[in-house]
Amino acid sequence: MKIAYFDCFAGASGDMILGALVDAGVPLEQLQLALDALNLPDLRLSAEKVMRTHFAATKMEVHAPHEHKHRHLKDIQKILNDSTLPDTVRASALKAFQRLAEAEAHVHNTTPDKIHFHEVGALDAISDVVGAMAGFHFLNLEAIYCSTFSLGGGLIEAEHGTIPVPGPATLELLKGFPARTGPVEAELTTPTGAAILTTVCRNEKAPAFVPRVVGCGAGSKQFPHLPNMLRLTIGDMAFAADEDTAMLIETNIDNMNPEVYPYVIEQLLAAGAMDAFMIPIIMKKGRPGIMLSILLPPEKTDSVLTVLYRETTTIGARLNTVARRKLPRQLETVQSSFGPVVVKIIDGVNGKRLVPEFEECRRVAESRGLPLREVQEKLLAELNGREDKTTR
């Protein structure tokens, strides 16, 4: 699974995103083709290797004719809808500008259709959004993630006069994404950069991945102690297992009626145990016995011990904290020839595996008068390769 990760330690802007994409191997010609598809005159991109403090990065420039007009959302939508862009690129760009309009409308207490874009409606901002979406399309990524956004600080001069950093629209766009102020007094994350990344990035922590390519896009300003650049890493998602800790309680019993054990296990599970099982053992003096093992969340220790002491003859237990690694799994409902059934979807090394829940198989078997084994085998055969048909 090919993914991308943006490290926004110095913020994000449209030109930084384009620079990172080109630095990571997206041909400049591919981005230029996207701009040509807009049917706007004299739009041209150029790229240059520069240094930001002691690090190399690619600085992108959009060369566009000077304009004196402001555009409304419908004007930008017309440009995009009249273009020859690929459908996915057009849809992503439209979504980014729609979100920009909604953010501006919110902070100015109006509606998106009445917003007239200032800086972000200029040709260079349109080029940034379209070029970025074209770059993502070229890379054919399955998921895009981003780090915490560095916002900067201080005041800047904008179309509406002096405004605080981050700008109100930028903050509106970043709602739900992690952000921090600083580390310098300047605008680090711009509305265009925020609109692009929050439109395409998943609002969740990036999974473990294997880096393959790294690209750095340079910002316009130079800071003494901060490399003003955006770092893009492209890689393959690593196989990941969920990790947690659990409590393992064990006790040896050699003086209890074996008929009681099934009831004890039921009570332990009802008290919060995740699993409980028995192992036959030979104890001291050659007496046969049972080692009762219980796996549970640490916070359930007292309630499980209460059941153990109440329902068995044991007078003590061993407690160990254990680390667990488990394949990600979730329960979902799928359609089958038996109707809707609940299955467990397990993400494994070789992809997803669907396993019908035992109680669901039992329910179907009893309601239809079928052998349980037959129901299990038929559902397993049906579900093979059916993970894309799940319904949440």
251: CATH: 3.30.70.1380
What is the Cα–Cα distance from 238 to 101, expressed in whole angstroms?
A: 37
User: Using 50, 70 and 90 to split pLDDT, how confident is the model at 388?
Assistant: very low
Residue ending a domain, choose from 326, 350, 372: 326
Average pLDDT value for residue range 123-132: 94
What is the Cα–Cα distance from 178 to 82, expressed in whole angstroms?
A: 36
Furthest-apart CA pair in the chain: how many Å? 97
120 & 172 share domain = yes
229 & 336 share domain = no
Determine what percent of the chain is predicted with pLDDT higher than 90. Answer: 74
201 & 349 share domain = no
Burial level of 357, CB count in 10 A (0-12/13-18/19+)? middle
pLDDT for res 239:
63
User: Using 50, 70 and 90 to split pLDDT, how confident is the model at 243?
Assistant: confident
* 148 CB-side CA count, 13 A: 8
105 & 195 share domain = yes
What is the Cα–Cα distance from 277 to 267, expressed in whole angstroms?
A: 13
188 & 319 share domain = no
pLDDT for res 240:
59
Phi/psi at 117 (5° precision): -70, 140
150 & 278 share domain = no
pTM of the predicted model as reported, rounded to 2 decimal places: 0.65
179 & 61 share domain = yes
pLDDT for res 350:
65
User: Using 50, 70 and 90 to split pLDDT, how confident is the model at 205?
Assistant: confident
82 & 221 share domain = yes
Crossing angle between the packed helical segments 358-368 and 372-383, to the nearest 10 degrees = 120
User: Using 50, 70 and 90 to split pLDDT, how confident is the model at 195?
Assistant: very high
212 & 349 share domain = no
| Whether pLDDT at 387 is above 50 | no
| Whether pLDDT at 184 is above 90 | yes
pLDDT for res 118:
62
What is the Cα–Cα distance from 229 to 223, expressed in whole angstroms?
A: 10
Q: What is the domain count for the chain?
A: 3
43 & 192 share domain = yes
Q: Are strands 2-7 and 229-237 parallel, antiparallel or unpaired?
A: antiparallel
Residue ending a domain, choose from 179, 204, 237: 237
| Whether pLDDT at 390 is above 60 | no
Residue ending a domain, choose from 237, 266, 294: 237
Average pLDDT value for residue range 367-381: 93
What is the Cα–Cα distance from 137 to 87, expressed in whole angstroms?
A: 10
68 & 178 share domain = yes
Average pLDDT value for residue range 99-127: 84
Tens-digit pLDDT profile for residues 289-330: 999 999 999 999 999 999 999 999 999 999 999 988 888 888
361-370: which pairs have CB atoms within 8 A and are 24 or more residues apart? Answer: 364/338, 364/339, 368/338
301 & 384 share domain = no
Q: Which residue range(s) make up the domain with 309? A: 242-326
User: Using 50, 70 and 90 to split pLDDT, how confident is the model at 285?
Assistant: confident
* Residue whose entry in the numeric block shows the structure tokens 């004007």: 75
Average pLDDT value for residue range 26-44: 95
